[in-house]
Structure 1
Amino acid sequence: MTTRSHRVPCGPSVPYLLLAPAVVFEVLVHLLPMLGGLWMSLHELNQFFVRDWTSAPNAGLDNYRVAVDFDGAVGAELLRSFGVTAAFSVLVVALSFGLGLTAATLLQRPFRGRLLVRGLFLVPYALPVYTAALVWKFMLDRGDGAVNAALGAVGLGGGEFWLLGQNAFLSLVVTAVWRLWPFAFLALMAGLQSIPAELYDAAEVDGAGAAQRFRLITLPLLRPVARVLVLVLFLWTFNDFTVPYVLFDESVPQAANLISVHVYQSSFLTWNFGLGAAMSTVLLLFLLVVVALSLALTSRSRRAT
């Protein structure tokens, strides 16, 4: 008994119709709010015009001038917050990438319980961001917090104010790394599994040691995955708002005052939505420049090879 397969005729407009719902939601969720923020940045939108925001006076580029005037109080604070965010992003990306690469490399060879270890490594990434940050907030709390209790148990002191002063930056970095490194581990593990095992076997036969195989085979073949991963981690980290907001609420110490929280405070605590929108637009332009440079470097390296 034979069966016939009936092919439904597909016109040239069908692919566009299938993409239409995604395009509509992309416009509603991303494009329209972005245009709204751009409009706000060009107006003096504050608490006096929230009820009738369309009547807010036109400010031109005044909000941008205030935001990038680094000799003024607002611009100087924004620049300091940018420096804190840059240092935070570099540390988090470097540590997350290093931990992910180390774990992915160590788990390439099979051993008993490897699947269980891989699953445990992915738990921090599987947790919601709010939950992960809230758990760390309880652990970093002074007194009976888990961090101080563990330090006291091994004779390293305890009772530190981990969410205040300069310790706040360290707490923020640790929390962000704990949350992000499993994603780096997952991406790098997939990249390592795509490298043919025959290359390692041939290099081992030729007398190459483990360090040489890692340097001459693993790193070059892992470079495309690593570039995309570093860019994604940087964008996520630089825009991170949930972790610092959950850890410190609205009273963020200056040492951990990321630019995302600074923009939020400039908008919703002082009710100066126009200035906050201008800061957000400047931040968006900076990130677009970073993405463009990353894509240009990637394209140049591809042409070189």
Structure 2
Amino acid sequence: MTTTATGNVPPPAGAGEAGGTGGTGKSGPGARRSARRRPRLPGRLGRGALPYLFLLPALVLELLIHLTPMVVGVVMSFRELTRLYIHNWGEAPWSGLDNYRVAVDFDGPLGESLLHSFLVTCLFTVVSVGLSWLLGTAAAVLMQDRFRGRGLLRALFLTPYALPVYAAVITWAFVLQRDNGMLNHIVHDQLGLTDQPPFWLIGDNAFFSLVVISVWRNWPFAFLILTAALQNIPREVYEAAQIDGAGVWQQIRRITLPSVRPVNQVLVLVLFLWTFNDFNVPYLLFGKAAPDSADLISVHIYDSSFGTWNFGYGSAMSVLLLLFLLLVTAVYLVFTSRGRRAEDG
């Protein structure tokens, strides 16, 4: 008796395993659904390459928007790029490190003015960041307890951060005008605190005006970040501290500040970078010719580049500023990470 292809022929050995899901011995609808869910990439690409494909558009945009102009600026810093070669900067002769030597020659007029601008910017950044963090921390702590009108106050506190920078600074410029400004109208005309209307946008007062506007714009950001961080502290911790007899200041010192220390480390770094690089506020407030007391380095580099059309020298100062910020950031991250490891240990 012979058998045909459609007869009762026993399956060959291993056919059940091979007919399943790749030798696992499983078959049926569940195995087919499992196999259908697995993404298969063509060629040699495996599942490990899929996240990199998703990141590729962002990396390309980052390269085009940030890294490419940065590289071009570094190349420009090694050229004698003046107004004579602005129509085709590729023909500008190479100057080597001459632009950098002029920038760091603090005995010369250009180097001396750059050093003065750098010191003013450092002082402005320390004062502005310190006051912004202090006000933001105080407001965040005070807004933790529930009371009537808390939501309205939080919204009012965030108003300076929500306003467009151009509208806010231009409004401040009108407020600080000597003859028609609202501040002099109150201080001099109404209260009679001064013999004559003071100048707020020139002289030494320009520095304090710049600090006030910077703090007014930045402290709501600190308030917002710290308010979110304080939500993660359980209320039971404060209740236990009150039972143990801890006062308000002891609770802030022993509970609040240690709990938000990681957030504060990032917050201070972000505020430092924003404030040190701030260009919009001083430029809109003073224009191209900022007073010596408020000559921030961002406006100084802009004026050296576009005022004298010496883009090679301006690019060299920008590169030096970038290196300084990278150095400060690296040192800050090293010290904060060491402090965090010491606490964990």
Assess same fold via TM > 0.5.
Answer: yes
- The answer on 1:9 being equivalent to 2:39 is yes
Residue deviations 1:157-195, cap 9 Å, x none?
A: 362211111111111111111011100111111111111
Asked if 1:73 is matched to 2:103, the reply is: no
Q: Give the % identical residues.
A: 59
Q: CA deviation at 1:8?
A: 6.7
Report the counterpart of residue 120 of structure 1 in structure 2.
Answer: 156
Measure the CA separation in 1 of the matches of 2:84 and 2:38.
Answer: 59
* Structure 2 counterpart of 1:154: 191
1:301 aligns with 2:301: no
1:18-60 residue CA offsets vs partner (Å, 9 max, x unmatched): 2111111111111001001000000100100011111110011
Match among 266, 270, 286 for residue 232 of structure 1: 270
Alignment of 1:1-305 (within 5 A): 7=37, 9=39, 11-152=47-188, 153-157=190-194, 159-305=197-343
Supply the distance in 1 between the matched residues of 2:262 and 2:182 (Cα, whole angstroms): 39
SS in 2 for 1:30: helix
Give me the whole-angstrom Cα distance separating, in 1, the residues matched to 2:336 and 2:124.
24
Moved more, 12-21 or 209-218: 12-21
In the alignment, the residues of structure 1 paired with residue 116 and residue 273 of structure 2 have an alpha-carbon distance, to the nearest angstrom, of: 19
Matched to 1:231, the amino acid is L
- TM-score normalised by length of structure 1: 0.96
CA shift, 1:222, in A, is 1.6
Gaps of 5+ in 2: 1-32, 41-46
Q: Distance in 1 between matches of 2:253 and 2:287?
A: 44
TM-score when scaled to structure 2? 0.85
What is the alpha-carbon distance in structure 1 between the residues aligned to residue 289 and residue 98 of structure 2?
Answer: 28
State the 1:220 CA deviation. 1.2
Matched residue type, 1:154:
L
Report how far residue 113 of structure 1 moved: 1.2
Instruction: Specify the structure having the higher radius of gyration (Cα).
Output: 2
Aligned-partner SS, 1:234 = helix
Long gaps (5+) in structure 1: none
Point out the more displaced range, 274-283 or 215-224.
Answer: 215-224
Distance in 2 between the 1:240 and 1:257 partners?
12
Deviations 1:232-268 (A, max 9, x none): 1011000000000000111211110000010001101
Partner SS, residue 303 of structure 1:
helix
Q: Greater RCO between the two (CA within 8 Å, min separation 6)?
A: 1
- Match of 1:13, SS? helix
Distance 2:297 2:230 in 1: 35
SS in 1 for 2:84: coil
Count residues in correspondence. Answer: 302
* Separation of aligned partners in 1, 2:145 and 2:129: 26
Where in structure 1 do 4 or more consecutive aligned residues deviate above 6 Å? Answer: none
Q: 3-state DSSP class of the match of 1:142?
A: coil
Instruction: Give the CA deviation at 1:7.
Output: 4.4
- For residues 98 and 234 of structure 2, the distance between their equivalents in structure 1, rounded to whole angstroms, comes to 57
